[in-house]
Amino acid sequence: MENNISNEELEKSNAIIKKMSEYYTSRIVGQRNLQISLLISLIANSHILVESVPGLAKTTAAKVLTESCGGRFSRIQCTPDLLPSDIIGTQTYNSKTTEFETKIGPIYANFVLLDEINRSSSKTQSATLEAMQERQVSIGGENYILPDVFIVIATQNPIEQEGTYPLAEAQQDRFIIKETLNYPSANEELEVLNRIERNVFENKQKVVNLEDIEYLQALSKKVYIDEAIKKYIISIIYATRNASKVIAPELAKYVTNGSSTRGAIAFMEAGKALALINGRTFVTPDDIKSLSHSVLRHRISLSFEAIADEVKVETIIDAIIASIKTP
């Protein structure tokens, strides 16, 4: 097995991730999956979609992540009347200079929280596509390059449908992973109250810097992934498109569309990031398995019959993973 990462590089990586993780857990109670997903998005320099009911610390988690590395944070509350120019910026006329001036929007930040993205119109949602994919925005015919560290953290509320605009599949596919959150346990909720009472959120700290984040992002590209694991990923993606050939007919009938090639890329990049988080220089099959829900839950489309029968996409994913031989 090849190893392009030295012990010194791995030790530095471990130290950076440890500092960020400790800072996160000192403020956020539970939500371990969200912590891992945010770190994966950060290391892969990609975007994350988070789905949960309100009040489960999605915004707080995004802010804590930003604080830990001294990044610039923007929060955009999505509403039906939000315009593309409210996100990317616009040109305004200055009567004193008789010239148009460019006003950069809140998208120009290291961490951009699009809160309840499905409340914004399709036109406004599409305004983020260029920024997320091309890492630039166009205003008045000029291109403005976004920061090197640029992560969009979009949230959506699954229980309210009135006045919402479901994300198009092309839009969802640009998020490397989709995380779902559940309510905390009674003990976790008690700890939340205790931490608020102790004002733990008042003491903001910068434990690493953006250069450290760029270091992790560069190092993740050197993480080794064996050819056998790449073929394993491709087999999983193929199975999502041909469910009837690999899983039971009573489950396969619910699948209408499978993952694109972007899903395979997401598996590889997220797998490399997870390997670093776990202190390894190589990707394992277990990394891919543990990422299956996060990578695929927004890339597999189910029929209305699945909704009526209360069949969850995670059930389909588990069946697919179980049907593929592990290398």
Q: What is the CATH number of the domain that holds 163?
A: 3.40.50.300
Q: Same domain, yes or no, for 48 and 140? A: yes
Q: Same domain, yes or no, for 104 and 187? A: yes
CATH number of the domain where residue 315 is located: 1.10.8.80
Q: Same domain, yes or no, for 189 and 249? A: no
**Residue-range definition of the domain harbouring residue 119:** 16-222
Q: Does the residue 11 lie in any domain? A: no
Strand 151-156 to strand 111-115: parallel, antiparallel, or no bridges (unpaired)?
A: parallel
- Identify the pLDDT of residue 320: 95
Q: Does the residue 205 lie in any domain? A: yes
Q: Does the residue 3 lie in any domain? A: no
* Region for 135 from its dihedrals, namely left if φ exceeds 0, alpha if ψ lies in -120 to 50, beta otherwise: left
- Identify the pLDDT of residue 131: 83
- Identify the pLDDT of residue 2: 56
Please tell me the distance from the alpha carbon of residue 138 to that of residue 228, in angstroms, as a whole number. 41
Q: Same domain, yes or no, for 165 and 153? A: yes
Please tell me the distance from the alpha carbon of residue 244 to that of residue 247, in angstroms, as a whole number. 6
Q: Does the residue 318 lie in any domain? A: yes
Q: Does the residue 99 lie in any domain? A: yes
Number of compact structural domains in the chain:
2
- Identify the pLDDT of residue 119: 86
- What residues have CB less than 8 Å from 20, skipping those under 6 apart? 39, 65, 68, 69, 207, 208
Name the residue among 166, 171, 191, 152 with its Cα closest to residue 57: 191
User: 10 Å Cβ neighbour count for 40?
Assistant: 27
- Give tens-digit pLDDT for 83-92: 888 888 887 8
What averages of pLDDT result for each successive group of 10 residues across the chain (327 residues)? Answer: 80 94 87 89 93 79 87 88 86 76 86 88 80 83 87 82 71 89 86 84 84 94 95 96 92 92 95 96 95 94 90 94 92
Q: Same domain, yes or no, for 272 and 326? A: yes
Residues 257-267 as b/e (b if ≥16 CB within 10 A, e otherwise) read ebbbebbbbbb
Q: Same domain, yes or no, for 198 and 290? A: no
- Identify the pLDDT of residue 42: 94
- Identify the pLDDT of residue 160: 61
- Identify the pLDDT of residue 162: 62
